[in-house]
Structure 1
């Protein structure tokens, strides 16, 4: 009886049922869209942070660069030998540590021993500036005069022959190439600057290559220099062999060359030094507590977590994320509340027009709870129909966003005084010296099962709210109301 009566009533009031269902559908679709876009924003931010930190890294420990002493020069300088040949090719490398003040390697073990730390690995960030080119020696030529003599200097004498010799020709032509180098602890590569890279050609370091003259280079740098596995290059006169070419798992790599840590320390004149300590916590929920512990027990260092890095990300990604979090969610709540209110009012209005119907049913023996159940049942069906339409619309909107994949930019600014750029980027990550990287991220809108479950819950809630108001009005009707409505 309940099902037959429900089907007949919904069929008789198709327009009203459709309006209620569409109102709920629009609200639910907006909630799904906003939630899926917000999830896509979170994924995009995670990609940016992983490209800086490396997989599995929860925080980094660095030390701010100390102020230079008065009269000292922090800039690069190059010295070339003077030679007799008229045209000599010269080359010089300037290797400098980047990303903050160097730390003692012994601090890595000290950090690893802190409570809540699962693992800690040190890395050294370098910047290499290579200058090569040649000098061309000029030639001295004397200028001649048509007169037999020339007034001399203050002594009043005269000189014959030629004038003052002048140098003609000569000069210098030099190319400047600057690139970043990261010293990697080859005994533990699951954490640190190379952890976020995927070897696409060749191989990575072995545990025995702690001081080997081998290198892994990024794909972009290898392409620009036309390097391949087996190629060789020199840094400060030391020849290195390329054993692998790596591609970042996400976003862009800010490091060009990876060397064993001991080799990097030798090049940078930083024996037993590191610029960044990568830390993995035992519990991802206790990162803030681990950060506080390290700062308390190891003075003078700066501990930076992913949340600290997230605050430095600006650009369209940050703006869109803020809009999706604040404006988008509040808008979806407002639309959903309006849809619930409209559904409740329309259901209540429909009940008021069915005074004769419900009064007659009560006169025939229907108790109030049965009338209420009938109204609530009709509202629940309207809510489920609206939920199904809303899920379909929301999935279509999310799929459209993913298909279009709008590009968002993320600018990674400085955290102010932090040390090495996370991810092994010498000066490339937050806190690097006057550093700012811009990355481009494609936005997607993934829809999770949790979002679908939320949509179903909202559909049921909307139906219950509308049914509760309509059922309350229906339960207050008396059989006498039906008789009074008879003309």
Structure 2
């Protein structure tokens, strides 16, 4: 009897029910869109930070203090005296930043409470200068006679002037990262995908092999099976890696021991990559490491997130603050409108409810009838709202512009300073495409809001209906 009457009343008042359901649907749809956009912002930011850290990395440990550079820290290039036109080259391998950590610190970090795994890496900068000197020619007494001699830049002889000659040198500056090949699941190389060849084997700790970044390989025309020379040492190119997003961590990746040998940094690392046992306790792990290992700076993804600026940061702030409060305001308005419309409908049904009470309906039964109709309206509004929300999220994903993220205020892979400096986050600008994923949790929230909206509307109307007395109701009928 209850459901039969409920179905008939809803069918008879389709327009009023649709108005109530539409109001709820708009509020629920806005909540879905804002929630999905906020989720997309979070994933976009994670993608940006992933390009800095690498997959599975929760934090990095570096040396806290950085001394000022001195003249002894600057690279010096020396060339032998050779015949004019002979090509000469000299390169220097520099640790990015002057502060390094002992390799034993990696083990110590790995033993800290809450740490699942830790691996060290050495960030290097290679500066190669190559070119040739050309001797000048001495012109004697303006008579057109030429005499070669003198070093480039030497003062002219009394008999004439030195003309021509000079030096033509090219500077090639590129980055090299020494990675621990025994732990391939951690480190910056994990944020790149091997698109040609293979990655390192765990047995290649001292092998002269290299994985090149795809952009650098294209620039230098490097291919799998070829070789590349770093400080006079030839390395075989075994793989080409493409960064998942943004800039790569380095131009070349080599085994850690080889990097330590090239830079005369035996048993030294610049960065320790750390994975926590529980992603919810990263702050606690950070505090533990800083407390037990003095002189270190621990940087988490949350710390790096604070350095993200640009349109991504602006959009994220808008979605999480303005969007959230706008969604709440619209949802409250939708609930109030639904309640007022239901209450107004009860006022228009005075004759109906008065007659039902005169026929023996209890106040509780009338209230259940009104609440039942309101809940059905809420569920219909929920279905419409979910459909609108999914459509809105799809539109946002389809037409959303590419956002930019500038990373600043942090250093990854060693401190700054020196020739070429450290790998500073401030120097990076990444393009990120926004998505608006809708999760099952969001759908569940939408259903809950729909039921809540129906209950709120039913509470207004049920309260009005329960206060009606048959005699008063019938007396108000014209």
Shift of 1:196: 2.3
Root mean square deviation of aligned Cα: 2.1
In the comparison of the two structures, how many residue pairs are matched? 462
Shift of 1:417: 9.9
Please list every run of at least 4 consecutive aligned residues from structure 1 whose deviation after the TM superposition is greater than 6 angstroms.
none
Q: Is the 8 A contact 1:276 1:420 kept in 2?
A: no
Q: Which runs of 5+ in 2 are unaligned?
A: 144-156
Q: Quick one: distance in 2 between partners of 1:163 and 1:333?
A: 90
1:238 to 212, 233, 237: 233
CA deviations 1:38-70 (Å, max 9, x no partner) are 11111111111111111121111101352236x
- 3-state secondary structure, aligned to 1:135: strand
2:464 to 470, 473, 482: 473
Residues 332-411 of structure 1 mapped to structure 2, 5 A cutoff: 332-411=327-406
Q: Quick one: distance in 2 between partners of 1:414 and 1:481?
A: 73
Q: Quick one: distance in 1 between partners of 2:161 and 2:35?
A: 77
Residue matched to 1:228: 223
Shift of 1:134: 2.0
* 1:213 counterpart = 2:203: no
Q: Is the 8 A contact 1:183 1:260 kept in 2?
A: yes
1:173 to 168, 174, 184: 168
More off after superposition, 220-229 vs 278-287: 278-287
Residue matched to 1:42: 42
Residue matched to 2:151: none
Residue matched to 2:441: 450
Instruction: Indicate how the Cα distance of structure 1 residues 418 and 303 shifts in structure 2: closer, same or farther if over 3 A, else same.
Output: farther
- 3-state secondary structure, aligned to 2:357: helix
- 3-state secondary structure, aligned to 1:141: strand
Instruction: Indicate how the Cα distance of structure 1 residues 303 and 73 shifts in structure 2: closer, same or farther if over 3 A, else same.
Output: same
Q: Quick one: distance in 2 between partners of 1:437 and 1:255?
A: 13
* 1:56 counterpart = 2:56: yes
More off after superposition, 101-110 vs 25-34: 101-110
Instruction: Indicate how the Cα distance of structure 1 residues 44 and 307 shifts in structure 2: closer, same or farther if over 3 A, else same.
Output: same
Residues 124-203 of structure 1 mapped to structure 2, 5 A cutoff: 124-144=122-142, 165-203=160-198
Q: Quick one: distance in 2 between partners of 1:21 and 1:426?
A: 61
- 3-state secondary structure, aligned to 2:188: coil
Q: Is the 8 A contact 1:180 1:426 kept in 2?
A: no
CA deviations 1:247-277 (Å, max 9, x no partner) are 2344431311001111111111211110011
Q: Quick one: distance in 1 between partners of 2:413 and 2:178?
A: 19
- 3-state secondary structure, aligned to 1:87: coil
TM-score, reference length from structure 1: 0.90
TM-score, reference length from structure 2: 0.92
Q: Quick one: distance in 2 between partners of 1:226 and 1:3?
A: 76
Shift of 1:418: 8.6
2:90 to 77, 89, 92: 92
Q: Is the 8 A contact 1:233 1:241 kept in 2?
A: yes
- 3-state secondary structure, aligned to 2:190: coil
* 1:18 counterpart = 2:18: yes
Residue matched to 1:72: 71
- 3-state secondary structure, aligned to 1:299: coil
Q: Which runs of 5+ in 1 are unaligned?
A: 146-161
Q: Quick one: distance in 2 between partners of 1:486 and 1:272?
A: 95
Q: Is the 8 A contact 1:126 1:426 kept in 2?
A: no
Q: Quick one: distance in 1 between partners of 2:394 and 2:193?
A: 29
